[in-house]
Amino acid sequence: MGIDSTTTDRRGKRAGRRHPLASVALILAGLVTTGGAYALFTSTATAETANTAIVHQQLVDEGKALFDANCASCHGFNAEGTAEGVSLHGVGAAAVDFQVGTGRMPMAAQGPQAEKKPVQFSDEQIEALAAYVASLAPGPEVPDESLFEGEADLANGGELFRINCAMCHNVAGSGGALTEGKWAPSLMGVEAKHIYEAMVTGPQNMPVFNDLNLSPEDKADIVAYLKFMEESPSVGGIGLGNLGPVSEGLFIWIFGLGAVVGVTVWIAARAH
Amino acid sequence: MTTTTTPAAASTTVTEKPVGKGMRFTNAAANYIDERTSISGLVKELGRKIFPDHWSFMLGEVAMYSFVVILLSGTFLTFFFDPSMSHVTYNGSYAPLKGIEMSAAMASTLDISFDIRGGLLMRQVHHWAALLFIASIGLHMLRVFFTGAFRKPREINWVIGFVLFILAMAEGFTGYSLPDDLLSGNGLRIIDGMLKGFPVVGTWISYLLFGGEFPGLVVIPRLFVLHIMLLPAILIAALGVHLLLMIINKHTQFAGPGRTNDNVVGVPVMPVFAAKAGGFFFVVFGILVLIASLFQINPVWNYGPYDPSPVSAGTQPDWYIGFADGALRLVPPGWEFVLWGWTFSLNILVPVAVLGLFIVMVAIYPFIEAWITGDKREHHIAERPRNAPTRTAIGAAGVTFYGVMWAAASSDLMATHFRLSIEGVIHTLQALLIVGPIVAYFITKRVCLALQKKDREIALHGYESGRIVRLPGGEYVEVHQPLSEYERWRLVSYEDYKPLMLRPNDKGKITVGMRLRASMSRWFFEDRVSPATKGELEQGGHH
């Protein structure tokens, strides 16, 4: 786990592994900042804006602390990049949210590509990290959840998916092989916002689909199509991994022909 | 129930029984038909036909029954399928494709799947049955090959069976292409590319087939005509000849007491075999429907309509075309070159030539072996694979060669599912394609010879009983259990070939052909284990 930083209000609730005085310090810090801010600004509106700005700055600072402890060894102390890791200037909050939020970062080991694994940070910590990286240079934002809630055009999503995504991820989103030991992962069971972020940031070997290429609505349609595929039951029965003719062929040779040969042996068995 | 074809068995004693009302009707009807068709002779002949009982003799039957299931389900599908490439906008009940432009063929396939009662089940029965059809043909061919059941007088039937196998694959491929979905469209694109890889004529053939530039608007209707009319007609005709020849040649049987090269031991068609076979048809039908109702196959709605631009990851043909797809995948890069302004696509021509040669070798193997052995006798006893070590080894090499190409068609899935790099998989398979058959050949041959040795040992000295006896002199010996006559028969009755002697012909000359034949014969029969002779057996018995 990362460095334990102190300040936001929300993080106070998860006090399990903190110093007993952490909550007190947190409340104190909160009171001082809000009180101080109130004292400084008489207008309520200005006070709120400044308040947000300060909270944001705290988030960034917290993110910076987490970053220094967990990411800087590869990405550098200013996220400028080293021989081991790329520069994170301009990758945006979306990239951090995707890479850290799916457990790909911090990377377990240098390999052909970062693997998905259990997520290492809490949502708040990821938010802080994302805020820090986003503060370095402008980049894609974490999408608003409301984008995935409206009416989506499934047919459009499906068509765009087949044209833009299926060559690596397979028409059924089951994933596929790339060169040099890399692969396009399965898209089943991936959170909507992570799919969206992957499209805008192009993680690992994936190309970037920017908003001119696929509009945010198009991307939301693709996400909706994938969610439809994931949630709707397989129409024709058990899908055999949705891998196409290979698993079908394997099935008929092992189970189909296996069953039939079993019956031939049974029929031809002589009753002694 | 075991009877033989010897005339003695044919004599029947008719006992008078009171005839029931139903029986009287049956008799009258049978008489009516017989008086007009003289069919009783045929029925008598066929009804007394003897079929030996062995599970591996029923694999061809499985193929035939799957074919019947294919015909039945296929007929249903033709009622609703529209083999047209005219553009329509899909407006059926599958939401994610609503409003998408596609061909009428694809739209009607979707309608069969989603809007016609029982349509999806029938589609799945049809497709699963097709996979089982070709798989059982393959297994049947392997059985015939490894037991030497293709030897005289059955060489012609082997060739007809081979034609059936090719026709089945053609049926499969044309059927796979009909829905005009993304997956099958990519398959057709590969065919188009392969055609265009041929010098001079390639482009012309491609334009002829697709009625212009790929994909055009005519290929689906054309494939449809082939799929439902021409190919099935030839297939049924060839199947008829195949069965007829099987009846004329009689079925082979494994060696056993009372089973000689001149008889067939088994059960007559009527009533036992027919009942078993009829029941077996329904079992196969049932298994296919069960699979089709539980397991999805070829979900065209996932693939979407064909569009020449997208190609999905994991695009493979159905299993029986896999070996050809694999052969293309195994070609190393950079095999095209330009000469005098022409592009020579060796990356296509070489695999096509290799596959063509492989397939032709399969078709003519019986004639090659007959020439090498110089054996002109009829063979009705199925050999145990170990008793023909060289043939079995050749078969194993062929199976390995095919298997490596087949595996190569799923190289990408092996890479993702076993966490390998695709280059590593391809390079391994490239090496295996050459080394695998050679290794398989030698291992199989040695295993066969070792098994033969073991058989000889057992025939001469009996089984090791595991009972150790101490003799009066203090010596310990293991008691060997002698074989029964029945068991021994199986072990000692097989053909023993020797390499042909190179002798001058009538004109006192030794031709190149004769030398070749002698060397091939040496290759075939140099390493061999002769069956225990009668003399040896008698001696062995005294141990």
- Tell me, yes or no, if B191 comes closer than 8 A to chain A by beta carbon: no
Is the minimum CB–CB distance between B190 and chain A shorter than 8 Å? no
The last residue of one of the domains, among A110, A142, A174, is A142
Domain stops at, among A123, A142, A161: A142
Give the pLDDT confidence of B199-239 residue by residue, as tens digits: 889 999 999 999 999 999 999 999 999 999 999 999 999 99
For B315, which residue in chain A has the nearest alpha carbon?
A: A244
Going edge to edge, which strands form the sheet with B50-51? B3-4, B265-268, B50-51
| Count of CB atoms situated within 10 Å of the CB of A187 | 23
Most A CBs within 10 Å: which of B109, B122, B282, B295, as the mutation test of the A interface?
Answer: B295
The minimum CA-CA distance between B91 and chain A, rounded to whole Å, is 11
**What CATH code is carried by the domain that includes residue A205?**
1.10.760.10
Q: How far is B185 from chain A (nearest CA, A)?
A: 14
Contact status, residue B308 vs residue B189, Cβ threshold 8 Å: yes
A176 lies in the same domain as A228: yes
Nearest neighbour of B131 by CB, restricted to A158, A252, A265: A252
Q: Do A167 and B136 touch (CB under 8 A)?
A: no
Task: Please count the structural domains in chain A.
Answer: 2
- Say yes or no for a CB contact (<8 Å) between B135 and A176: no
Residue A257 lies in a domain: no
Q: How far is A118 from chain B (nearest CA, A)?
A: 19
Whole-number Å distance between alpha carbons of B40 and B467 = 60
Asked if the structure places residue A246 within a domain, the reply is no
pLDDT of res. A47: 54
Residues A73 and A112 in one domain: yes
Same domain, A124 and A169: no
A74, part of any domain = yes
Asked if A256's CB is within 8 angstroms of B135's CB, the reply is yes
Question: What three-state secondary structure class fits B466?
Answer: strand
A176 touches chain B (CB under 8 A): yes
Query: What is the distance in angstroms between the Cα of B142 and the nearest Cα belonging to chain A?
Result: 14
**Interface contact A237, partner B, CB < 8 A:** yes
Instruction: State percent of chain B over pLDDT 90.
Output: 63
Selected residues 18-77 of chain B with any CB under 8 Å from a CB in chain A = 53-59, 62
Give B93→chain A minimum CA distance, Å.
12
End position of a domain, from candidates A142, A164, A199: A142
Check whether residue A54 and residue A128 sit in a common domain. yes
Q: What is the pTM of this model?
A: 0.86
Q: Is residue A250 part of a domain?
A: no
pLDDT 10s per residue in chain A (272 long)?
444 444 444 444 454 566 767 777 777 777 777 766 666 555 555 556 667 788 888 889 999 999 999 999 999 998 888 988 889 998 999 999 999 999 998 888 888 888 888 999 999 999 999 999 999 988 898 988 888 887 889 999 999 999 999 999 999 898 999 988 899 999 999 999 999 999 999 998 899 998 899 999 999 999 999 999 999 888 889 988 888 899 999 999 999 999 999 999 988 887 55
Question: What local confidence, expressed as pLDDT, does residue B267 receive?
Answer: 81
Tokens 């908003």 correspond to A211
Clarify whether residues A54 and A157 are in a common domain: no
For residue A266, being part of any structural domain is answered with no
- In angstroms, the separation between the Cα of residue B467 and the nearest Cα of chain A is 28
Based on the fold, state whether residues A95 and A182 are members of the same structural domain.
Answer: no
Please state, in angstroms and rounded to a whole number, the distance separating the CA atoms of residues B146 and B386. Answer: 9
Residues of B in contact with A162 (CB under 8 A): 182, 303-304, 307, 310, 312
Task: Look at residue B5 and tell me whether its pLDDT is greater than 50.
Answer: no
A160 and A137 in a common domain: no
pLDDT at A150: 77
Instruction: Say which residues have a Cβ less than 8 Å from residue A209's Cβ, sequence separation at least 6.
Output: A164, A199, A200, A202, A219
Say if the Cβ atoms of B421 and A263 lie within 8 Å.
Answer: no
> Lowest mean pLDDT: which of B116-120, B209-213, B479-483?
B479-483
Distance CA A143, CA B123 (A): 42
Residue pointed to by tokens 């042909």: B500
Range of the domain at A167: 143-232
Domain match, A92 and A165 both = no
Distances (CA, A) of B197 to B206, B335, B359: 10, 12, 20
Q: Residue A27: give its domain's CATH number.
A: 1.10.760
Within 13 Å and on the Cβ side, how many CA atoms surround B510?
9
What's the one-letter identity of residue B108? S
Same domain, A91 and A165: no
Q: Closest partner residue to A171 among B114, B304, B317, by Cβ?
A: B304
The residue with greater pLDDT, B83 or B3, is B83
- In this prediction, residue B392 has a pLDDT band, given cuts at 50, 70 and 90, of very high
Neighbours of B460 (CB within 10 A): 20
Tell me, yes or no, whether A241 lies in a domain. no
Nearest CA among A13, A6, A110, A24 for reference residue A66 = A6
Chain A hits for B183, CB-CB cut-off 8 Å, are: 171, 244-245
**Domain membership flag for residue A178:** yes
* Same domain, yes or no: A135 and A227: no
For the record, the structure tokens of A113 come out as 């590509």
With 60 as the cut, is the pLDDT of residue B435 above it? yes
User: For the segment B136-191, what is each residue's pLDDT rounded down to a tens digit?
Assistant: 999 999 999 999 999 999 999 999 999 999 999 999 999 999 999 999 999 999 99
Residues A110 and A160 occupy one common structural domain: no
The rounded mean pLDDT for chain B is 90
Whether A148 and A204 share a structural domain: yes
- What is the rounded distance in angstroms from the CA atom of residue B378 to the CA atom of residue B260? 12
Chain B contact for A181, CB < 8 A?
yes
d(CA B187, CA A19): 64
Overall size of chain A counted in residues: 272
Whether A86 is in a domain gets the answer: yes
- Determine, for residues B304 and A159 on separate chains, whether the beta-carbon distance falls below 8 Å: yes
A183 touches B: beta carbon within 8 Å = yes
